[in-house]
Amino acid sequence: MQYVHTLLLVCPECKSPVAINRVTKEKNLEMVDAERLRIKCSFCGKSSDVIAVTAKRHYLEEWP
d(CA 38, CA 28): 21
pLDDT value for 64 = 85
Q: Could you tell me which residues come within 8 angstroms of residue 19 by beta carbon, excluding any fewer than 6 positions away? A: 6, 7, 8, 9
Residue 12: the pLDDT is 97
pLDDT of residue 48: 97
- The answer to whether residues 15 and 8 touch, using CB atoms and an 8 Å cutoff, is no
Which pLDDT value is given to residue 17?
A: 98
pLDDT in tens, 5-60: 999 999 999 999 999 999 999 999 888 999 999 999 999 999 999 999 999 999 99
